[in-house]
Structure 1
Amino acid sequence: MQEKKIELDKSHFISALDACGLLSNLEVGKELHEQIFKSGLLSDTAVGNALMCMYGRCRALNDACAVFENMHHRDVVSWNAMINIFANLGHSTDAFSCFSEMQAYRVLPNKLTFLALLSACTTANALLEGKTFHRKIVELGCDREDLLVNALIRMYGQCGAVEDALAVFDHLRNPPVSAWNFLIGAYCNGCNGKGALNVFRRMQNSGREPNKITFLHVLKACAMTGVQDYGKTVHELIKECGWGYDVVVGGALINMYSKFRDLEAAKEVFENMEEQNVVSWTAMIDAYANHGYHKEAVRLLESMKQSNCEPNQITLASVLGSCVSPVALEDAISVHSYIIELGLESDTFVGNTLVGTYGRCQAIDHAYQAFHRIGEHDVVSWTALMSAYLRCHKHEEVLQLFQYIQKDVQPNRVTFICAVKSCTYMRDLAKGKEVHAKIMESSYNSDIILKQSLIDMYHSCGAYEELYSLTS
C-alpha cells in the first residue's frame, strides 16, 4: 500500500482492519495501525474500535488494552469490544471490572454488553455476577429476546445452576429450537443425562422439531445414562430427520455405542457415513482402544493412513492408549514410527503419550528416548517418565527425577504419588518424609488419595508415630 502511495480513508482502514482480524494477521494489522497514526485518524472513535477488535481477534490483549486506554472518546461500542475481548480470551474478572468502570463513566449498556458479560460467566465462581447481569437485563426490558435468553440459559448451565436455566426457559411462551438446545446442553454439562432426556421428550411433545445440535446433546445424554434401547430409538429418529449419514452426528453415535459396549453398531455407523474425516476415524479408533482391542485400533490407524486421512494428536493418543502391556510393544513401536513420519515426535502432547505408553509396556529405554525427543517438557512429561520408571521398579530413578524437577515444574498429584510409592517400595522413611513435606507445601496438602498413599508409606516403613499423627 505504501509503495503505491494509495491514500486510505476512514472506511478503508476499518474494512482492512476487519479483514486482518478475520485472518488473524497481526503483522499487517500493526502496519495498518502505523498508517492510521500517520494519517491522523487514531483519535477517531470508530477507527479505534476497529483497531481494538482487530487486536482482540489476533489475541493481542496488551495491544487491544493500549488502544482502549488511549482513546479520546469511548462509546458503548468501545466498552462492549473491550469486555468481549476479555471474555473471549478467558479474562472473566477483567471483563467484570471493565463493566464496573463503564458504569462509573455512566455509559449505558445495551444488549451486546450483556451478551459479552454472560459469555464471561463460565464457571460456578461467576454465578453471582451472572445473576447480577440477569437482573440488569430484566431492568433493561430485554429478558424476552432470543439471543439474551439463550445466553442466560447457557450461562446458568455453565455455572452449574440448571434450575435457574430452567426458570429462564419456562418464562418463554414458545421457545425456539436454540433455547431447547441450550437447556438440554445445560443438563448435559451438569452430567444430568436423565434431565436432558426429559427436556428432549418435553420438546417432542411441544411439537418443536429437533435439529442437528439437539441430537448431538441427546446422544451425549444417552451415552451418560446408558439407556441403550432409547439410544437406538433416537438413532432411528435421526435417520428419519435425515442426519443418519452426517459425519458429526455419526461421530456422536459411535461414541454413544462405544459407551454401550456395542462395537458392532459403532462399526456399522462408521462404515455407513457419507464421508469419514479425522473426527469419525478417531471416534472409531477410540471405541476400540477404550475396550482393549488394541490390534483393531492399530489396524484402523493403518486403514486411515491408506485412505489419505491424516490423524491428529488425539487420534494418535487414542491408539497409543490401547497399548497397555508388554505384549503391545511391537504395535507401539509401529505407531511411533508413523509419528516420526508425521513429524510429531517432538510434540509435547504426543511425546507425553508415547512415554506413558512405553512405560505401560515396561520398555524403559524406549520411554527414556521418547522423553528426550519432546520439544518442550511440562509436568506431564516428567511425571510420565517417573511413572515409567515406577512400573519398571526403578525407584531410585523415580526419586532422583522427583528431586530434579523441583527447580522447573510444579509437581501434580500423580507426580507426588509416584514419589510416595517409590518410598513405600524402598521403605525409605527419610525420603518419604521429604516428599511428605513437599506435599504439605503444595496445593495437594489435603488430597485424600495422597493421604492414603502416605499412610501406606508410613505403614510400610513401620513409622507408627507418623502414621498415628496422619490418621488422628
Structure 2
Amino acid sequence: MADRMKQGTRYKAQERMRVRKHAAHWKIVEDAQRRFDQIAEPDVVSWTSVISAYAKQGHGKEALRLFGQMQQMGVKPDKITFISILNAFTNPAALTEAKVMHARIIESKFDSDVAVGNALLKMYCKCGSLEDVRRAFDNMPTRNVVSWTSLIAAYAQHGMLNVAVQLLEQMSEEGAKPNFVTFISIFNALGSQCSLADVKLLHSHVANSGLESDIVVVNALINLYGKCGGLKESRDLFDRTTERNAVSWNTMIAVYAQHGLAQLALDLFTLMEQENMKPDKITFVNVLNVCASAEALAIGRQIHARIIQSGFESDVVVATSLIKMYAKCRSLEDARKVFDKIPESDVIAWSAIIAAYTQQGQGLSALKLFEEMQRQHVKPNEITFVALLDACASFSGLAEGKLIHSYLLKYGYESDLFVINSLINMYSKCGCMDDACKIFEGMPKRNLVSWNVMIAGYSQSGQTKSALLLFEHMQREGFKPDKYTYVSIFDACANLAFLPDGKAIHSRIGSFKDDLNPEVGNALLNMYGKCGNIDEALNIFVRMFERDVVAWTSMISAYSQHGHGQFAIQLFAQMQEVGIELNDITIASILSGCSHSGLVDEGSHYFDSFSKRFHKLMTPVCYGSMVDLLGRAGHLAEAENLVCTMPFHPNVVIWMTLLASCRAFGDMERGKRAAKHILELDPQNSAAYVVLSDVHAAVCQ
C-alpha cells in the first residue's frame, strides 16, 4: 500500500499540469483543423501543417489518416511532411508501422537528408529500438551534433552508459562538439539508474567540453548527483556555482527534501532569501513538501505567510501543496481554510482536501465533500477515487464503498490499475474478501501492488492459507515479492500453526537476508515473538542495522507475552539509553510483562512514572494492563479504584479483566459490581454471567 500511496503523491503533483496541457493540445489541433478546412485546394504546406499539429499533440492515428488522404489527393509529401509524420510513432507498439514509413522515405530519396535522418533517430528512440537507432545512424551519410546526441541518449536510456561515454569521445574526435542538449539528454535518459562514479565521469566530460559554467547543465548535474546519493557533491557544485538562478536553489532544496533532510532544506530556503533570490511557486511547493514530511507545522505556517506576501496563495498548485502540508501536520482546520480561499478549485485541489479528511479519520466528511464537488460540476479523476475508496476503508463503510464503486464505473475507471487496487483494498478492509477476490481475478492486468493488496487483505482477515496460496501463485506468475509482500505474509504467519510456513519463506528471502529491511525485520520479530520463538526473534533483532520503536517494542512484547518480564525491563532500559522514544504500545508491553511475571512493585513503579511523564500516551490498553497486574496479585481494591479513577470511561475489556481477578480470588461483591458495569455496556455479554456464576459458586463452596 505504501507503493500505491507513493505513486499517488507523485501523480497528484503532475495531474493538474497534464489536464491543462491536454486542453491546450486540443485547442492547437482544433485551430489547425479549422484553418485547413477553410482552404479550397490545400497544397503540401497546408497538408503538412495539419498533419504536424495532430502528430505533435499525440494524435498519431489521425495524423496517419490525413497523410493517406493527402496522397490520395495526389499531393506529394516533401521532407518536412516526412519529418512531421515521424512524430506520430511514439511507442514500441508502433515500431512496425514506423519501419514501413522509413521504407517510404527511402523510396522518396529523402533518407540522405540530415534533418530527416535525425527525425528517424528520434522516432526509433521513442519506439525503444536501440538496434534500429544504431542502424539508421550508421547509414547516415552526414551527421551533426543532433545525430550524435540522439544516438548517445538512446544508449544511456538502455542503461549502456559505458557505450554512451565512448560515443561522446568518438563524437569529439569526429569534430562534432557536444553541447548542453547532448548532456541534458544523457542525464534525462539515465534518471537515477547510474552510480555516483558514473555521475562523476559524466561531470568530467562536461568540464572537458567547456560546459561547466552552463547553468542548465550545472542544475541538471546537481539534480543527478542528488538522485545518486551524492549529497556532498551536489552541495559542493551548488556552492561553486556563482551564477545561480531560481532553478539552482529549487533543485538543491528538492535534493535535500528527497533524502528527508528537512532542516538542511529549510536552512537553504532561508539562505536563498538572505541572498535576495526571490522564491517562485516551485520553491514554495518544494519547501511545503519538506514541512509536510517533517510534520513541521510551525515552520509550515511561516512559509504560508511568505506565500501570501509573494502573492501565490491563490495559485492552485501552491494552495494544493498547502492543503497537503496542513493535512500531514494534522491541522485539518488550516487545510480547509486554504481550500475555501481558492478562487476556482480544480480536481486536484478537491482530491487533496478529500484526501486530507480521509487521513485525519474523517471518512464521512470526505464523502460529503465529494457530493459538494459533484454539485460544483468538477469531474473526479483517479486521485479522487483513490482518496474516496480510502475514506470508505477507514471506517469500514461498505455501503458507501459500493456507491463509490458505481461512480468509478460511470466515469470509466474500471480498468485503471491505480483505482482498482484501491477498490480491492476497500473491500478487504470492509471484510468482503469474496468481492475483493472477484475484482482481482477479473483484472486483465495486475501489478505487484495488486498482489500485495490481496495478500494483505487475506492476512488482516485471518485467512492465512489463502494468503500463502496467493503468495506462491504470485511468484509463479513472475512477480518478485518486495518488502510489503513479506510484511503481509509474515503477519499472516504470526501464529503457531503457520510458523513452519513463515520460517520456510524467511529462508527464501534472499535480498533481505544479510541486511534486514526495517519493515521486514519488524514483521519477522512480530511473527517469531508471537509464536514463542524468542531466540529467533532475538537473532533477528540483533542483526537489524536499523531498529526503530516498533522493533524495540516487538522484542519487549515477545519477552512480556511469554513470562520474561525481567528481560523485557532490561531491554526497555537499553531502549531508553540509545534514545528511542517509546509509544503507547511500548508502555502496554512493559506493564503486561510485569503482570505476566508477577512483578507488582516494578509494574507499579513504571505505571506511576509513565503516568507523570507520558500521560498523553496512556491509553485504555495501558490502564487495562495495570488492572490485570494488580488483579493477578490479589490487590483487588487497588485494581477497582484504578478502574473507577482512570481519565476515561472504562471499556468492557477492562471491567472483564477485573471480574476475572474477582473470580480467581472469590471476591463476590466486587465481582457483582464489575459484572453490572459490563452488562450496562454490553447487555448481551454472556461471558459476564458465566464469570459471575463461577464467582458465586466459589464463594458457596
TM-score by length of 2: 0.60
Q: Does 1:425 align with 2:495?
A: yes
**Which residue identity is paired with 1:194?**
Q
1:53 paired residue among 101, 122, 140: 122
Q: Residue 135 of structure 1 aligns with which residue? A: 204
**Which residue identity is paired with 2:506?**
H
2:436 paired residue among 367, 389, 412: 367
Greater RCO (CA < 8 Å, at least 6 residues apart): 1
Q: CA deviation at 1:85?
A: 4.2
Q: SS at the partner of 1:376?
A: coil
2:485 paired residue among 391, 402, 415: 415
Q: Residue 178 of structure 2 aligns with which residue? A: 109
Contact residue 121 and residue 133 of structure 2 kept, 8 A: yes
Contact residue 122 and residue 159 of structure 1 kept, 8 A: no
**Which residue identity is paired with 1:323?**
C
Q: Does 1:443 align with 2:511?
A: yes
2:165 paired residue among 99, 116, 136: 99
1:71-470 correspondence to structure 2 within 5 Å:
71-86=140-155, 90-91=157-158, 93-104=159-170, 106-107=173-174, 108-123=177-192, 125-324=194-393, 327-408=396-477, 409-425=479-495, 427-439=497-509, 442-446=510-514, 447-448=516-517, 449-451=519-521, 453-454=523-524, 457=527
Q: CA deviation at 1:111?
A: 2.7
Partners of 1:59 and 1:307 in 2: how far apart? 43
Partners of 2:424 and 2:274 in 1: how far apart? 52
Deviations 1:355-406 (A, max 9, x none): 2222222222222222233222333323322222222222222223233333
Contact residue 121 and residue 136 of structure 2 kept, 8 A: yes
Task: Note closer, same or farther for the CA distance 1:147–1:453 as it changes in structure 2 (3 Å cut).
Answer: closer
**Which residue identity is paired with 1:98?**
A
**Which residue identity is paired with 2:375?**
Q
**Which residue identity is paired with 2:511?**
S
1:5 paired residue among 52, 55, 74: 74
Deviations 1:395-449 (A, max 9, x none): 222223233333113233333344444444351454344433443xx43334354
Contact residue 428 and residue 457 of structure 2 kept, 8 A: yes
Contact residue 153 and residue 183 of structure 1 kept, 8 A: yes
Q: CA deviation at 1:170?
A: 2.4
Q: CA deviation at 1:12?
A: 4.1
Task: Note closer, same or farther for the CA distance 1:130–1:426 as it changes in structure 2 (3 Å cut).
Answer: same
Q: SS at the partner of 1:322?
A: helix
Q: CA deviation at 1:18?
A: 5.1
Task: Note closer, same or farther for the CA distance 1:445–1:229 as it changes in structure 2 (3 Å cut).
Answer: closer
Task: Note closer, same or farther for the CA distance 1:303–1:403 as it changes in structure 2 (3 Å cut).
Answer: same
Q: SS at the partner of 1:43?
A: coil
Partners of 1:249 and 1:317 in 2: how far apart? 22
Contact residue 355 and residue 388 of structure 2 kept, 8 A: yes
**Which residue identity is paired with 1:94?**
M
Task: Note closer, same or farther for the CA distance 1:26–1:250 as it changes in structure 2 (3 Å cut).
Answer: farther
Task: Note closer, same or farther for the CA distance 1:268–1:28 as it changes in structure 2 (3 Å cut).
Answer: farther
Partners of 1:30 and 1:235 in 2: how far apart? 54
Contact residue 455 and residue 488 of structure 2 kept, 8 A: yes
Q: CA deviation at 1:314?
A: 2.4
**Which residue identity is paired with 2:79?**
K
Q: CA deviation at 1:255?
A: 1.1
Contact residue 152 and residue 167 of structure 2 kept, 8 A: no
Q: Residue 67 of structure 2 aligns with which residue? A: none
Q: CA deviation at 1:309?
A: 2.3
Partners of 2:537 and 2:300 in 1: how far apart? 50
After alignment, is 249-258 or 27-36 more displaced? 27-36
Contact residue 96 and residue 117 of structure 1 kept, 8 A: no
**Which residue identity is paired with 1:198?**
D
Q: Which runs of 5+ in 2 are unaligned?
A: 1-69, 544-701
Partners of 2:539 and 2:226 in 1: how far apart? 43
Partners of 1:346 and 1:12 in 2: how far apart? 37
Partners of 2:367 and 2:452 in 1: how far apart? 26
**Which residue identity is paired with 1:129?**
D
Task: Note closer, same or farther for the CA distance 1:70–1:126 as it changes in structure 2 (3 Å cut).
Answer: farther
Contact residue 326 and residue 334 of structure 2 kept, 8 A: yes
Partners of 1:373 and 1:189 in 2: how far apart? 37
Q: CA deviation at 1:59?
A: 5.4
Partners of 1:463 and 1:239 in 2: how far apart? 58
Q: SS at the partner of 2:458?
A: helix
Partners of 1:356 and 1:151 in 2: how far apart? 39
Partners of 1:51 and 1:299 in 2: how far apart? 53
After alignment, is 385-394 or 449-458 more displaced? 449-458
Share of identical aligned residues, percent? Answer: 33
Contact residue 177 and residue 209 of structure 1 kept, 8 A: yes
Partners of 1:416 and 1:190 in 2: how far apart? 25
Partners of 1:227 and 1:202 in 2: how far apart? 19
**Which residue identity is paired with 2:111?**
L
Contact residue 460 and residue 492 of structure 2 kept, 8 A: no
Q: CA deviation at 1:352?
A: 1.7
Partners of 2:101 and 2:489 in 1: how far apart? 54
Deviations 1:233-265 (A, max 9, x none): 322322232221111111111111112221111
**Which residue identity is paired with 2:352?**
A
Partners of 1:44 and 1:361 in 2: how far apart? 63
Q: CA deviation at 1:209?
A: 1.9
Partners of 1:274 and 1:28 in 2: how far apart? 47
Contact residue 137 and residue 151 of structure 2 kept, 8 A: yes
Deviations 1:1-29 (A, max 9, x none): 3223333333443344357669x987885
Partners of 1:210 and 1:190 in 2: how far apart? 21
**Which residue identity is paired with 1:132?**
L
Q: SS at the partner of 2:74?
A: coil
Task: Note closer, same or farther for the CA distance 1:73–1:245 as it changes in structure 2 (3 Å cut).
Answer: same
Partners of 1:124 and 1:52 in 2: how far apart? 23
Partners of 1:169 and 1:82 in 2: how far apart? 30
Q: CA deviation at 1:61?
A: 5.5
Q: CA RMSD in A?
A: 3.2
After alignment, is 301-310 or 59-68 more displaced? 59-68
Partners of 2:416 and 2:538 in 1: how far apart? 45
Task: Note closer, same or farther for the CA distance 1:163–1:404 as it changes in structure 2 (3 Å cut).
Answer: closer
Number of residue pairs matched by the alignment? 466
